[in-house]
């Protein structure tokens, strides 16, 4: 449900895994173009889609009889979008979105449970280093399928295991979702540094300290600390923060070069979730009393309260402390 970059690439993974996939596009003209050309001209124009994928703009048609419903709309739009849909009785739901809802601080699996009333045990997520273009090109990648019940996670794992996409299970849904949302904020910070012309030391420092603050917040919220060293944590952070394909890193780079949020948004090739999740993740930090200096710096830049060079200067000027504190 969602025919952007990741919705389309993940539909391809599911088709490669041998399933019949219906791909819902919000705009009828996009669904029509996918049907006609067997490509998604707006997001992955050069990728031929396998015959197992059928595009439609009618959500009822897309959802009719589905055993697994995969949600691939941006985090801040998921609630309003879900309200209009009737999910099939007994289906499993998978969220692909990496964000925390602004205003409620809810993770996407929580939003799904709240809006649909579906048992949280039947809601899973897919996360990890998942840059959509690479997956669509069938470059090899590992990922994480998280669900609170091991048997549900294993069923979803089997559903999306293709010759080039290798998912691992995890039952720490909270940690996996938090890691996915927070890495987008950290990727904005890395991008800002890159945009300012800084090199590998700065990038590695922000990745590593970004992971430290993500893990601190996760622990305070009850996540399994091991999650942050895995594909959903370190793996996704490294992929996103290293790749020019990342919308979040690119968005940060534009901010680092002096563009404002509106200008960077206009240039973005899709949703950069970290821009809004900076607000909700920073709020989670305040509510739990966890210090999140990088997230807070990004939030202030996005709000126009500081500039990237000032934010970096402020980060470096903080009181010295031990690495593990």
Ligand X SMILES: NC(=O)C1=CN([C@@H]2O[C@H](COP(=O)(O)OP(=O)(O)OC[C@H]3O[C@@H](n4cnc5c(N)ncnc54)[C@H](O)[C@@H]3O)[C@@H](O)[C@H]2O)C=CC1
Ligand Y SMILES: O=C(CO)COP(=O)(O)O
The DSSP output letter for 49 is P
CB 21 within 8 A of CB 53: yes
Shorter beta-carbon distance to ligand Y: residue 268 or 307 = 268
Rounded-to-integer distance, Cα 70 and Cα 109, Å? 12
Residue 273 binds to ligand X (criterion: CB under 6 A): yes
Residue selected from 21, 34, 43, 298 as contacting ligand X according to rule CB under 6 A = 43
- Contact segment (CB under 6 A) with ligand X among 5-13, 84-92, 158-166, 190-198 equals 5-13
With CB under 6 A as the contact rule, which of the stretches 8-16, 150-158, 211-219, 241-249 interacts with ligand Y?
241-249
Quote the least distance from Cβ 239 to ligand Y, whole Å: 5
4 sits near ligand X (criterion: CB under 6 A) = yes
* Residue ranges in 109-138 that form contacts with ligand Y under rule CB under 6 A: 129-131
Measured on CA atoms in the order 168, 141, 280, 205, is the torsion positive or negative? positive
- When asked if residue 26 is in the footprint of ligand X (CB under 6 A), the reply is yes
Asked if residue 3 binds ligand Y (CB under 6 A), the reply is no
List the beta strands (DSSP E) in the chain: 21-24, 53-56, 68-71, 92-95, 123-127, 141-146, 165-170
Tell me the sheet residues that pair with 53.
Answer: 21
Does 43 appear as a known binding residue? yes
Site for ligand Y contains 98 (CB under 6 A)? yes
The CA radius of gyration of the chain, in Å to the nearest whole number, is 19
Interaction between residue 236 and ligand Y (CB under 6 A): yes
270 binds ligand X (CB under 6 A): yes
In b/e form, how buried is each residue of 100-119, taking b as 16+ CB within 10 angstroms? bbbeebbbbbbbbbebbebe
321 is known as an active-site residue: no
Residue 195 interacts with ligand Y (CB under 6 A): yes or no: no
User: Does 177 help bind ligand Y (rule: CB under 6 A)?
Assistant: no
Decide: is 110 part of the binding site for ligand X (CB under 6 A).
no
Residue 166 to residue 255: CA distance in whole angstroms:
34
Q: Give the strand pairing for 141-146 and 123-127.
A: antiparallel
DSSP three-state, residue 85: coil
199 marked ligand binding residue: no
Output the six-digit token pair for 127.
């996360």
**Residue 71: both structure tokens together:** 């949600």
User: Judged by CB, which is closer to ligand Y: 159, or 187?
Assistant: 187
3-class secondary structure per residue, 113-161: HHHHCCCHHHEEEEECCCCHHHHHCCCCEEEEEECCCHHHHHHHHHHCC
Segment interacting with ligand Y, rule: CB under 6 A, options 14-22, 62-70, 235-243, 276-284: 235-243
* Residue 278 binds to ligand Y (criterion: CB under 6 A): no
239 binds ligand Y (CB under 6 A): yes
Binding site residues, ligand X, CB under 6 A: 2-7, 26, 43, 72-75, 77, 81, 96-99, 130-132, 270-271, 273
Binding site residues for substrate, as ranges? 98, 247-248
**Site residues for ligand Y per CB under 6 A:** 98, 129-131, 184, 187, 236, 239-240, 246-248
Residues with catalytic function: 183
The binding site consists of: 2-7, 26-27, 43, 98, 128, 132, 183, 236, 246-248, 271, 273
């Amino acid at each position: 449900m969602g025919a952007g970059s990741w919705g389309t690439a993940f539909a391809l993974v599911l088709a490669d895994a041998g399933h019949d996939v219906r791909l819902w596009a919000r705009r009828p003209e996009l669904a029509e173009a996918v049907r006609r050309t067997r490509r998604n001209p707006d997001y992955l124009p050069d990728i031929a889609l396998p015959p197992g994928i059928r595009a439609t703009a009618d959500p009822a048609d897309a959802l009719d009889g589905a055993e697994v419903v995969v949600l691939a709309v941006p985090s801040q739009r998921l609630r309003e979008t879900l309200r209009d849909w009737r999910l099939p009785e007994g289906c499993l739901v998978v969220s692909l979105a990496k964000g925390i809802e602004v205003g409620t601080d809810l993770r996407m699996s929580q939003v799904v449970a709240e809006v649909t009333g579906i048992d949280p045990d039947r809601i899973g997520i897919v996360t990890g280093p998942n840059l959509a273009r690479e997956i669509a090109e069938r470059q090899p990648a590992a990922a994480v399928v998280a669900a609170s019940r091991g048997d549900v996670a294993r069923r979803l794992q089997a559903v999306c295991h293709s010759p080039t996409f290798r998912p691992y299970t995890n039952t720490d849904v909270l940690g996996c979702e938090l890691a996915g949302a927070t890495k987008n904020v950290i990727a904005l910070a890395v991008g800002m540094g890159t945009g300012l012309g800084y090199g590998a030391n700065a990038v590695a420092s922000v990745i590593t300290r970004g992971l430290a603050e993500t893990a601190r917040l996760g622990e305070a919220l009850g996540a399994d600390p091991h999650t942050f060293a895995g594909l959903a944590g370190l793996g996704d952070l490294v992929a996103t923060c290293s790749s020019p394909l990342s919308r979040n890193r690119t968005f940060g780079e534009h901010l680092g070069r002096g563009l404002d949020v509106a200008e960077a948004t206009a240039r973005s090739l899709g949703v950069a979730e970290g821009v809004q999740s900076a607000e909700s993740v920073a709020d989670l930090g305040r509510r739990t009393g966890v210090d999140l200096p990088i997230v807070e710096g990004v939030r202030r830049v996005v709000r126009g309260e500081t500039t990237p060079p000032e934010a970096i200067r402020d980060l470096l000027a903080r009181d010295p402390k031990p690495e593990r504190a």
